[in-house]
A and B are shown apart, each in its own frame.
Chain A
Amino acid sequence: MTLPVLSLLIFVPLIGAAIGLLIPADQKASIKGWVFAVTLMPLVLVGIMWPSFTGGSAGMQFTENIPWVPSLGISYNLGVDGLSFPLIALTAFVFPLATAAAFGFDKRVKEFFILILVLETAVMGVFLALDYILFYVFWEAVLIPMYFLIAIWGGSRREFAAIKFLIYTMVGSLLMLVGIVALYLATGSQTFSITELANLASSKVSSTWSVWIFLALFLGFAIKVPVWPFHTWLPDAHVEAPTPISVILAAILLKMGTYAIVRISHPTFPEIAQYFAYALGVLGVINIIYGALAAMAQKDVKKLVAYSSVSHMGYVLLGVAAATPESVSGAVFQMVSHGVISAMLFLLVGIFYDRTHTRDMTKLRGMAVAAPTAGVIMTFAAMGNLGLPGLSGFIGEFFTLLGTLNVFTTLVYVTLIGLVLTAAFNLLMLYRVLMGKPREEFAVMPDASPRELFTLVPLMAATLLLGLWPRLIIDMTNPVVTNFVSRLTGGA
């Protein structure tokens, strides 16, 4: 019998959380240490899986399939392929860093750290589940810890932001659930398997139904991405969420939406997806341009970074819509790259906030004088964010647009403006936060501490490594992407 490694990935954090409950709440250091140790375990597991993961194959690997509710065809079905592997690796990579970033916390430490572990279980489940019901359970399970993490440990408007986040994304999940149920009924089959239903959908579901189900699923995912105009929960949630949670939100949770599009709605309804391709491409471009413009006008640096996410997720949408090997590879790569880079930016914003208690860029200024090391790292992160060749952000954008050019030529021309705007808001951020002389009250402050460097340096290394050696991801995604593309364009 082989080790159920995917189950371990999912449930190790949860078991760790259960054990963590036994630690008395006043032993804060032990709780922090324990939880950090637990978050390292999925990373170790991913490291163990890596060599035996076959990059050249499009199929599911490490699969586990146990009937759960056989009468309805629900099963506990897990698997990983070239699409999900980079995302679970990202998850396993970011969680320990986010946890370490929370070591300074002092308020209700036990609950906070336990919830982080619960969140990791849910996220892993989303990326590994191959059964709709299982997927849905994990998808919803993400909301619960997230809600509390924002509502209890957030900023001054935390309750508003948390409720808005909860309701907004729950509306999305309900749409998705409606879609799932309709799909199940429409195919008339006794299974909730994502892959099997995808194969059945084209023959069993009428085209009208296909459109509605596709839209329900897509809308559910789109809110999570977030796709314009459903994005406004994101800046609120980001601004109010504590730094480690912002990191997880931007780095990982947003990817759930795009992951689901690539995993579920598009492969299940390839014709419909192709029918709406141009519209989705337009939405992607709106995300890119609108997000960049909105980012440029922000005074709150955290909001700026949040809108930057809106902009960057647009590339993913655009690349998936264009459905060429280059564009989809770029899009999937962009998911990981954005995860790493946005995590860095949110950590940095947190570092400056920690010192100055403000995120207002009219008050920050000269931070590179006050905290030179943090300044250098922020410059690095901003360069990654604006897509400087040599760093990971470039690879995602470059190949997305390259692949899209012959499909949606006009859209790419418009996106070129977005590339300039992206550079503009990133440089503006550096200008306002780092340059000049600091205000007197901020002139003396501690530079990035060793613990903060511990959270940032791995992300910097990843940004550089992925930028120079994108094979690390693309070798895995290539077969899956090829499959995806032929499914979409071959079937049309």
Chain B
Amino acid sequence: MPHNAWAIPGLALLAYALIVFFGRRFGERAAFIPIIALGGSFVLAVINLLAVIGGATAEVRFDWLHLGERTITMGYRVGPVEAVVLFMVTLVSLMVLLFSKGYMHGDAKFNRFFANVTLFITGMLLLVIADNFLLFLVAWEVMGLCSYLLIGHWFEDLDNAKAAMKAFLTTRLGDVGLMLGVWMLFLATGSFRFDEITKEISKGQMDVAFLTLAALALFSGAVGKSAQVPLHIWLPDAMAGPTPVSALIHAATMVAAGVFLVARSFPIFQAAPDAMLTVAVIGAITALMAALIATVQTDIKKSLAYSTVSQLGFMMLALGVGGFAAGIFHLLTHAFFKALLFLGSGSVIHAAHTQEMHKMGGLFRKLPVTGATFIIGTLALAGIPPLAGFFSKDEILLEAFHFERAPILFWMAVFAAFLTAYYMTRSVILTFFGKPRDHHVYDHAHESPPIMALPLLILAVPAVFAGLAGAPFAGSWLQHFIDPHVHLPEPSGFVQNVAIGVSVAGIVVAFLIYQVGILNRQAAIRVLKPVYVLFKQKFYFDHVAMGIVAVTVAISRFVATVDKWVVDGLVNGLGWFVFQMGQGARRFAAGSAQAYAMVMALAIAVGLFVYQAMGG
């Protein structure tokens, strides 16, 4: 069965082509094209997963290009990791498509939205099964393109267009590093294929400094795509896109592709300990910093966006400290509950027509399904057992705890975990509980239609149960499945208690502040002013980025000026001079045959003369 895995992205691609060419005829019913196709992909992914659990794998490839002496192949590979991720991606995609059918109802570019989302899904599915860096890059950038197009879906508003451009350019910055890494590895191993590169590296004859550089180059691509510090700045702005896009692309799938990239090239990183450490450190910094910023966001989506950045940091941290299985595990569980949370926020926005949490409040009564599922997502993300996030986050903390090169990373992660529980509880209370702060918003709010509520209910299921697949009492089945040679870290009661403790503490603190009102928020902000401003200004990363842009623009203007007045100025000046000298140019310009012949003869004469003179 895995041999037919090509059909999983294949169906999505077919749906894309159908919408592009025939979508207009169907109006909004065109949305059913990708919904049906993805339904098919999901069924295939399930069958596929069962087959792989049964021990099957597939590798299919063909010769794609002969270049010099080398043959470059294209192909795909389906093993345990691919099978599980395919399952996740098809499920989340299908839910997002269903939700979008309701959410985007009446949008002027409804069909275009579905076309772009479908192309995106194709890219993501292709990325998962690619067996080589070239196909991986194609899928990677197709996703980047769709992300750009979807962030800028409402491009009539230039702010959205700017956010789209920012996302593309920031990730591009990382991507050139990724390409560099791919070139280095190709030149060293003669292949783009993951398995062949791994084989060459496992021979142990490659220079560690070289591998470190190559791994870091690859990692820069992951930093851009997975919004790690310092290239994280695009993701919060990407919330300008329609909310289902945020759920699918900017929470569950594309941003996880960077993590997936590191996992894909894990043998390279393992051979370069310093690169691993860098991944871990960047991951931990990102996890913590984004969590801190999330605590002061008032926009329900922005808060979730920083949460995503933070959780991606957790995944990177897991990989960096050597926890391959833990990283993938969290990638999977996070996809479910974060997609749920984003779709939930979409449902809230759909009802309230605002994203400002300070204008909400008390919406639980109006939106019971949304509210209940949002709370489930929150508890899963906060790491309350036995929900999905608990097991995967616990696994990461455990890996970090056993990482001896930098013990501080564990504590950074613990603090970030506390903050996670805190800011999510804050969001829940501000949105759903307390007194309505804006009666206009409150009075007009209504629960979303079934086509939007249903995906929330369905996604709540894995948000609750997905973690059990990797739970210790289930023998950590998932970890053993995706990595048969996994060395699970020694379980630690201490780590588990800390994990549960900070999660509960985060919830309690947020509850005390936002529900009970134990402390005056305004007063607290006044006391903590410098810190508050630092968080509010997002650690000034955007300012630095704007500075770099401004400098680049200045240089480009300078170059254009030099080009016009110096480089071209000399040419025009010379031309003018010659023209004045004899008006000879005029005859030239008229294309007169004699003048032309004369000049040609002259040139030959000069050639002859010079040749003679130099005694050739």
A416–B186 Cα gap in the complex (Å)?
A: 17
A293–B68 Cα gap in the complex (Å)?
A: 33
Stretch from B150-158, B244-252, B428-436 that touches the partner: B150-158
Cβ–Cβ contact B68 & A431, under 8 A: no
Stretch from B99-107, B138-146, B448-456 that touches the partner: B138-146
Out of B141, B553, B567, B571, name the residue touching A168 (CB < 8 Å).
Answer: B571
Q: Is B168 an interface residue (CB 8 A)?
A: yes
Out of B67, B134, B162, B568, name the residue touching A474 (CB < 8 Å).
Answer: B67
Contact of A389 with B137 at beta-carbon distance under 8 Å, contacts A182-B611, A290-B559 already known: yes
Binary CB contact string for chain B from 169 to 210 against chain A (1 if under 8 A, 0 otherwise): 100110011011011101100000000000000000000000
Q: Is B490 an interface residue (CB 8 A)?
A: no
Contact of A423 with B168 at beta-carbon distance under 8 Å, contacts A167-B575, A325-B67 already known: yes
Binary CB contact string for chain B from 547 to 578 against chain A (1 if under 8 A, 0 otherwise): 00000110111011101000110011001000
Chain A residues with CB under 8 A of B137: 389
Stretch from A116-124, A354-362, A394-402 that touches the partner: A394-402
A390–B162 Cα gap in the complex (Å)?
A: 25
Q: What residue in chain A is nearest B149 (Cβ atoms)?
A: A379
Chain A residues with CB under 8 A of B575: 164, 167
Q: Is A462 an interface residue (CB 8 A)?
A: no
Q: Is B474 an interface residue (CB 8 A)?
A: no
Binary CB contact string for chain A from 168 to 212 against chain B (1 if under 8 A, 0 otherwise): 101000100111011001100000000000000000001011000
A475–B585 Cα gap in the complex (Å)?
A: 46
Q: Is B606 an interface residue (CB 8 A)?
A: yes
Cβ–Cβ contact B610 & A182, under 8 A: yes
A406–B599 Cα gap in the complex (Å)?
A: 45
Chain A residues with CB under 8 A of B186: 402
Cβ–Cβ contact B560 & A420, under 8 A: no
Contact of A325 with B68 at beta-carbon distance under 8 Å, contacts A209-B616, A389-B141, A434-B155 already known: yes
CB distance from A134 to the nearest CB of B (A): 15
Chain B residues with CB under 8 A of A163: 585, 588-589
Contact of A329 with B67 at beta-carbon distance under 8 Å, contacts A186-B611, A369-B156, A420-B172 already known: yes
Query: Helix, strand, loop or mixed for chain B's interface?
Result: helix
Q: Is B527 an interface residue (CB 8 A)?
A: no
Q: What residue in chain A is nearest B599 (Cβ atoms)?
A: A174
Q: Is A232 an interface residue (CB 8 A)?
A: yes
Cβ–Cβ contact B588 & A166, under 8 A: yes
Contact of A181 with B155 at beta-carbon distance under 8 Å, contacts A209-B616, A474-B66 already known: no
CB distance from B114 to the nearest CB of A (A): 15
Out of B140, B183, B603, name the residue touching A174 (CB < 8 Å).
Answer: B603
Cβ–Cβ contact B65 & A474, under 8 A: yes
Interface centre among B138, B142, B608 (most CB of A within 10 A): B138
Contact of A431 with B165 at beta-carbon distance under 8 Å, contacts A206-B616, A294-B556 already known: yes
A233–B610 Cα gap in the complex (Å)?
A: 29
Q: Is B161 an interface residue (CB 8 A)?
A: yes
Chain A residues with CB under 8 A of B553: 296-297
A185–B607 Cα gap in the complex (Å)?
A: 9
Contact of A294 with B560 at beta-carbon distance under 8 Å, contacts A388-B141, A436-B161 already known: yes
How many residue pairs between the two chains, A and B, have CB atoms under 8 Å in the bound complex?
177
Cβ–Cβ contact B155 & A293, under 8 A: no
A103–B585 Cα gap in the complex (Å)?
A: 34
Q: Is A368 an interface residue (CB 8 A)?
A: yes
A:58-97 near B, CB below 8 Å: none
Q: Is A411 an interface residue (CB 8 A)?
A: no
CB distance from A448 to the nearest CB of B (A): 15
Q: Is A269 an interface residue (CB 8 A)?
A: no
Cβ–Cβ contact B161 & A435, under 8 A: yes
Q: What residue in chain B is nearest A471 (Cβ atoms)?
A: B65
Q: Is A349 an interface residue (CB 8 A)?
A: no
CB distance from B85 to the nearest CB of A (A): 21
Cβ–Cβ contact A186 & B616, under 8 A: yes
Q: Is A280 an interface residue (CB 8 A)?
A: no
Q: What residue in chain A is nearest B109 (Cβ atoms)?
A: A372
Contact of A167 with B588 at beta-carbon distance under 8 Å, contacts A229-B567, A405-B183, A481-B68 already known: yes
A402–B552 Cα gap in the complex (Å)?
A: 26
A430–B180 Cα gap in the complex (Å)?
A: 27
Cβ–Cβ contact B589 & A166, under 8 A: yes
CB distance from A143 to the nearest CB of B (A): 9
Contact of A297 with B557 at beta-carbon distance under 8 Å, contacts A383-B145, A470-B65 already known: yes
CB distance from B336 to the nearest CB of A (A): 29
A232–B560 Cα gap in the complex (Å)?
A: 11
Chain A residues with CB under 8 A of B149: 379
Q: Is A282 an interface residue (CB 8 A)?
A: no
Q: Is A427 an interface residue (CB 8 A)?
A: yes
Interface centre among B180, B560, B563, B608 (most CB of A within 10 A): B563
Q: Is A363 an interface residue (CB 8 A)?
A: no
A66–B140 Cα gap in the complex (Å)?
A: 54
Chain A residues with CB under 8 A of B187: 402, 405-406
Chain A residues with CB under 8 A of B406: none
A55–B588 Cα gap in the complex (Å)?
A: 44
Chain A residues with CB under 8 A of B155: 368, 434-436
A156–B143 Cα gap in the complex (Å)?
A: 43
Chain B residues with CB under 8 A of A229: 567
Interface centre among B158, B585, B591, B603 (most CB of A within 10 A): B603
Cβ–Cβ contact A325 & B69, under 8 A: yes
Q: Is B533 an interface residue (CB 8 A)?
A: no
A389–B64 Cα gap in the complex (Å)?
A: 15
Chain A residues with CB under 8 A of B606: 178
Q: Is B600 an interface residue (CB 8 A)?
A: yes
Q: Is B58 an interface residue (CB 8 A)?
A: no
A416–B606 Cα gap in the complex (Å)?
A: 43
Chain A residues with CB under 8 A of B17: none
Cβ–Cβ contact B176 & A419, under 8 A: yes
Q: Is A326 an interface residue (CB 8 A)?
A: yes
CB distance from B286 to the nearest CB of A (A): 22
CB distance from B144 to the nearest CB of A (A): 8
Cβ–Cβ contact B68 & A482, under 8 A: yes
Cβ–Cβ contact B138 & A390, under 8 A: yes
Contact of A416 with B585 at beta-carbon distance under 8 Å, contacts A147-B591, A181-B607, A297-B556 already known: no
Cβ–Cβ contact B559 & A185, under 8 A: no
Q: What residue in chain A is nearest B63 (Cβ atoms)?
A: A471
Binary CB contact string for chain A from 293 to 336 against chain B (1 if under 8 A, 0 otherwise): 11011100000000000000000000000001110010000000
Binary CB contact string for chain A from 407 to 418 against chain B (1 if under 8 A, 0 otherwise): 000001100100
Cβ–Cβ contact B588 & A185, under 8 A: no
CB distance from B361 to the nearest CB of A (A): 35
Cβ–Cβ contact B67 & A478, under 8 A: yes
Chain B residues with CB under 8 A of A412: 180, 183
Cβ–Cβ contact B67 & A326, under 8 A: yes
CB distance from B427 to the nearest CB of A (A): 31
Interface residues of B (CB under 8 A from A): 64-69, 134, 137-138, 140-142, 145, 149, 152, 155-158, 161-162, 165, 168-169, 172-173, 176-177, 179-180, 182-184, 186-187, 552-553, 555-557, 559-561, 563, 567-568, 571-572, 575, 585, 588-589, 591, 599-600, 603-604, 606-608, 610-611, 614, 616
Interface residues of A (CB under 8 A from B): 144, 147-148, 159, 162-164, 166-168, 170, 174, 177-179, 181-182, 185-186, 206, 208-209, 228-229, 231-233, 290, 293-294, 296-298, 324-326, 329, 366, 368-369, 379, 383, 388-390, 394, 398-399, 401-402, 405-406, 412-413, 416, 419-421, 423-424, 427-428, 430-431, 434-437, 470-471, 474-475, 478, 481-482, 485
Instruction: Give me 18 A-to-B residue pairs in the complex whose CB atoms sit less than 8 angstroms apart, sorted by A's number.
Output: A166-B589, A206-B616, A209-B614, A228-B567, A232-B567, A233-B571, A297-B557, A325-B67, A325-B69, A389-B142, A399-B67, A402-B183, A405-B187, A419-B179, A420-B172, A428-B165, A435-B152, A437-B156
Other than A167-B585, A389-B134, give 13 A-B pairs with Cβ distance below 8 A.
A162-B589, A182-B610, A182-B611, A209-B616, A293-B556, A296-B560, A325-B68, A388-B141, A405-B183, A421-B556, A430-B165, A431-B161, A471-B64
In the A-B complex, the 7 residue pairs with the closest CB atoms: A325-B68, A297-B560, A435-B161, A232-B568, A181-B607, A296-B556, A293-B559
